[in-house]
Structure 1
Amino acid sequence: MCMLSKLSNRELVKLIKQKCIPPLLPKFHKGQSGGRVCIIGGCEDYTGAPYFSANATALVGCDLTHVVCEQNAATVIKSYSPNLMVHPYLKADGQGSEMGKIKSLLSRIHVVVIGPGLGRDASMLDAVKRIIGHLLTEHGGEIPIVIDADALYLVSQDKEVRETLAKFPQGRIILTPNVVEFKRLYDAVVTNESTAEAPEAANNDENLQGYEIAQRMNCVVIQKGLQDKIFSPAGKNELLVNEQTGSNKRVGGQGDTLTGTIACMLSFSRAMFDFKLCGDPSAGEGPHLRWVDYAMLSCYAGCSITRECAHQAFKATGRAMQTTDLNDRVGQVYHKLFE
């Protein structure tokens, strides 16, 4: 077993290149090497977030990028880019979402992102809950899910959703909380589950808190902040910390760029690990990796890309930096870091 936490940034980048990224070869068909990703989110009020996530996915190298959104958001998101496939299958205000169409689409998808621009409409959140259940029962939990924004709110508020997510195979669920979302998750997953007989379950050590969430939810947790801390459910000593220089300016949508880059890297990793695009991954050079290691490396790569994009954008624009400034740099930064 490879202990990723003992590797330097340079060694981690080298391992990502070696193990996680499939080659581009003439024999591969569309969707085979670059993969297929679906972003679930986007409501009438929030159309930028799913676009930024999907656009980042496409710019890293995803072959087919879909957005499933609320019907009033679809035309707006379509107007942002003709490169994305946008499906108005989610419904708000008590209307039933088109679950049959959603399930049919998900049968062709390699990675799912849930949350960007989702909002907190009860009908939308109920649809997300049903989608998570479907991915577990019908697909065995093998399709990785990156959860962010209001989908994290749902996780913190709904115990049934937390219990469903915890049943996925180890490392197939990625949670991406900011500081506020992290505290909300910890309170829901650990503090509120503690009993009077076990008050020591709660603690004030953020690293232990992150591991406790990861371990109890059987998922990877990325705590976004000055450093990006990536917690593994496999052990508290398997923490990865990404300290690459980012930006002194924070903008709304930066987290959506992160979810998109992670999603594409997970799709790449599935091509190598699950689909064995280049043969048995355990037979090649380098250390033998479990799926949870691939997931951790994919998250580290996504953090590296996003932080470097923010660094370049801030250097060029300063206080005027917007999400488009960093999002549009995703492709060139990926090339710089991993090609």
Structure 2
Amino acid sequence: MSVRSLPGRLYSAEQTRELDRLAGEAGLSGEQLMERAGRAAFELLVQRWPDLSRPAILCGGGNNGGDGYVIARLALEAGLAPVVYQDKPVEEMHGDALTMARRARDAGVPMRPLSLDCLPEDAPVLVDALLGTGLAGPLREDKRALIQALDDLRKPVLAVDVPSGLAADSGASTGAVLRARCTITYIGVNRGLLTGIGPVCTGELLFDDLGVEARVHDAIAAPVWRPAPADLARWLPRRAPDGYKKTYGHVLVIGGDHGFGGAPMMTAQGAGHAGAGLVSLATRSEHVAPLLARQPEIMARAVDGVADLAPLLEQATVVAVGPGLGRDAWGRALLEAALDSGLPLVVDADALTLIAEWGVDARDDWVLTPHPGEAARLLGSDTGAVQADRFAAVESLAARYGGTALLKGLGTLVRGAEGTALISDGNPGMGSGGMGDLLTGVIAALRAQGLAPYRAAALGAMAHARAADRAAARDGERGLLATDLLMDLRRELNDY
């Protein structure tokens, strides 16, 4: 099962444990779930590596290790020659994991203690059933050294539930992570698998619900969800037969100080291709002619100061401010005017840095779109702290500044009035200049068409990422430019 077909709900580690408990109440015992999990992982193992004969199964002492012992037993029954590397002796295990370990031992699975002196150096494939989702806090030094040594073997790895060393709640490393070629997870998908370094360490992510009924999932309110094209169909208004340009809103883009005309132009193009009825651009006079030559539908205006901006603000529905704005007197004055206008705002780039410097009051009608460095400035923190717990960072941004906060990066997060969204679409080709400027315009256009800030941000980020996936699938990731997304973005917002 591919990432795109994963469930829409994402859970914390505590919530997935509650799902296990509720599944038990619904009639599925822990032993049954462990057998099903182990079988699903074993079937994936032989599917991905059909010529495999000697898998090494790394088993911890908890339920994750129990899944590993099931895999080892099934491998032996299938005629393979598995070897279990134990992090804890069978005699020290408990519950269902102990039952599965005894069954594997009684079936004749060879077992060795796992240590720095006993690593599976000759095994062609590793099955990681060591730590699972129960890991809390930094790894002890001995565990960190062991996981690092295993990762240094550079073996293909199938991870069970979560790569060992990855924090299931935050998607951060707890000291070292055993990176996987693919990961299979069960019943509920942990949110940390899809943000931070989670996708890097997880590899291909697959899901099996183990036959748990939907009503079990309905019993838990998942605070994190993955937007899907179906949400566009539910929330984005369809075009009325008698609609005209003013029906779909007027986006005003403010930015483009001397030498930075391209950034706001991409924002304006993003707004136009995402469906805004009218798009204006307030910028420096030297940018007007080249910008009109590139996209004549954009109403580019020379703005030398606040007096020139005032009539444009009077006509606008939504303001997108920040791309190429600069931090000098011109940009500062225009940002102040935008903040004082009372219009809904989408705020990016230099405007975020100025807001962090000024310490402005919270407001409900804006969307802030920082990358991790800008988020750190807004929170008075540092980039490392933001990336160590991206969920906590985006929640702090929304709490401090109000409205909706969108934290860019691998597994973009959106926090607002309706909860937290995680964008799992997108690809490495998006690591090029202008992608964020384009996104700002998309969100502003959706706001102009009537979507609330949170929905505009979540669906805009999803559509933007999926457009990048379309473009990369057609022409490749390397060399992907922001403006390459424009027609794919239009298709993405119409295909639903």
Is the shorter-chain TM-score for this pair beyond 0.5, marking a shared fold? yes
Identity over the aligned pairs, expressed in percent? 24
- How many residues in Structure 1 have an aligned counterpart in Structure 2? 272
Post-superposition CA distance 1:127-184 (Å, at most 9, x none) = 2113312x13xxxxxx31000011111111112xx12xx1x3x2x1111011111111
- Give yes or no for contact 1:249–1:314 (8 Å, CA) kept in 2: no
The answer as to 2:390 corresponding to 1:206 is yes
- Give yes or no for contact 2:463–2:492 (8 Å, CA) kept in 1: yes
Offset, 1:57 = 0.9
- Give yes or no for contact 1:49–1:256 (8 Å, CA) kept in 2: yes
- Kindly report which structure 2 residues correspond to 1:61-210, keeping only aligned pairs within 5 A, or say none: 61-89=275-303, 91=304, 97=305, 99-133=306-340, 135-136=341-342, 143-159=343-359, 162-163=360-361, 166=362, 168=363, 170=364, 172-187=365-380, 205-210=389-394
- Cα root mean square deviation, aligned: 2.4
Offset, 1:204 = 6.0
Post-superposition CA distance 1:206-239 (Å, at most 9, x none) = 322221221121121100011110012x48xx21
Please name the residue that 1:277 is paired with. Answer: none
Secondary structure of 2:324 counterpart: coil
- Give yes or no for contact 2:226–2:424 (8 Å, CA) kept in 1: no
Offset, 1:58 = 0.7
- Give yes or no for contact 1:313–1:326 (8 Å, CA) kept in 2: yes
Cα distance change on mapping 1:22 and 1:9 into 2, 3 Å: closer
1:258 to 430, 439, 443: 439
Distance across 1 between alignment mates of 2:477 and 2:429: 9
When the two structures are superposed, what TM-score results if normalisation uses the length of structure 2?
A: 0.51
Q: Tell me whether 261-270 or 216-225 shows the greater mean CA deviation.
A: 261-270
Secondary structure of 2:380 counterpart: helix
- Give yes or no for contact 2:273–2:490 (8 Å, CA) kept in 1: yes
- Give yes or no for contact 2:429–2:480 (8 Å, CA) kept in 1: no
Offset, 1:49 = 1.0
The answer as to 2:240 corresponding to 1:25 is yes
- Give yes or no for contact 1:114–1:151 (8 Å, CA) kept in 2: yes
The answer as to 2:494 corresponding to 1:335 is yes
Cα distance change on mapping 1:80 and 1:204 into 2, 3 Å: same
Offset, 1:322 = 1.9
Cα distance change on mapping 1:215 and 1:6 into 2, 3 Å: closer
- Give yes or no for contact 1:116–1:148 (8 Å, CA) kept in 2: yes
- Give yes or no for contact 1:4–1:240 (8 Å, CA) kept in 2: no
- Give yes or no for contact 1:227–1:243 (8 Å, CA) kept in 2: yes
Secondary structure of 1:38 counterpart: strand
Cα distance change on mapping 1:17 and 1:67 into 2, 3 Å: same
Offset, 1:324 = 2.1
Please name the residue that 2:480 is paired with. Answer: 321
The answer as to 2:448 corresponding to 1:267 is yes
- Aligned AA for 2:239? L
Cα distance change on mapping 1:123 and 1:248 into 2, 3 Å: closer
Post-superposition CA distance 1:54-89 (Å, at most 9, x none) = 111111111111101122222222221111000111
- Give yes or no for contact 1:53–1:259 (8 Å, CA) kept in 2: yes
Higher-Rg member (1/2)? 2
- Give yes or no for contact 1:40–1:50 (8 Å, CA) kept in 2: yes
- Aligned AA for 1:144? P
Cα distance change on mapping 1:67 and 1:210 into 2, 3 Å: same
Distance across 1 between alignment mates of 2:370 and 2:226: 24
Offset, 1:40 = 0.5
Structure 1 gap ranges (5+): 92-96, 137-142, 192-201, 271-293
Please name the residue that 1:50 is paired with. Answer: 264
Distance across 2 between alignment mates of 1:332 and 1:209: 33
Secondary structure of 1:329 counterpart: helix
Distance across 2 between alignment mates of 1:248 and 1:30: 33
Distance across 1 between alignment mates of 2:260 and 2:483: 15
Which structure would you say has the larger RCO, counting Cα contacts within 8 Å and 6 or more residues apart?
1
- Give yes or no for contact 2:223–2:420 (8 Å, CA) kept in 1: yes
Distance across 1 between alignment mates of 2:370 and 2:316: 24
- Aligned AA for 1:9? P
Secondary structure of 1:302 counterpart: helix
Post-superposition CA distance 1:243-294 (Å, at most 9, x none) = 1133345110000111111111111125xxxxxxxxxxxxxxxxxxxxxxx3
Distance across 2 between alignment mates of 1:184 and 1:24: 40
Secondary structure of 1:319 counterpart: coil
- Give yes or no for contact 2:325–2:331 (8 Å, CA) kept in 1: yes
- Aligned AA for 1:147? V
Distance across 2 between alignment mates of 1:261 and 1:109: 16
- Give yes or no for contact 1:247–1:310 (8 Å, CA) kept in 2: no
Structure 2 gap ranges (5+): 1-220
Distance across 2 between alignment mates of 1:203 and 1:311: 24
Please name the residue that 1:241 is paired with. Answer: 422
Distance across 1 between alignment mates of 2:222 and 2:293: 42
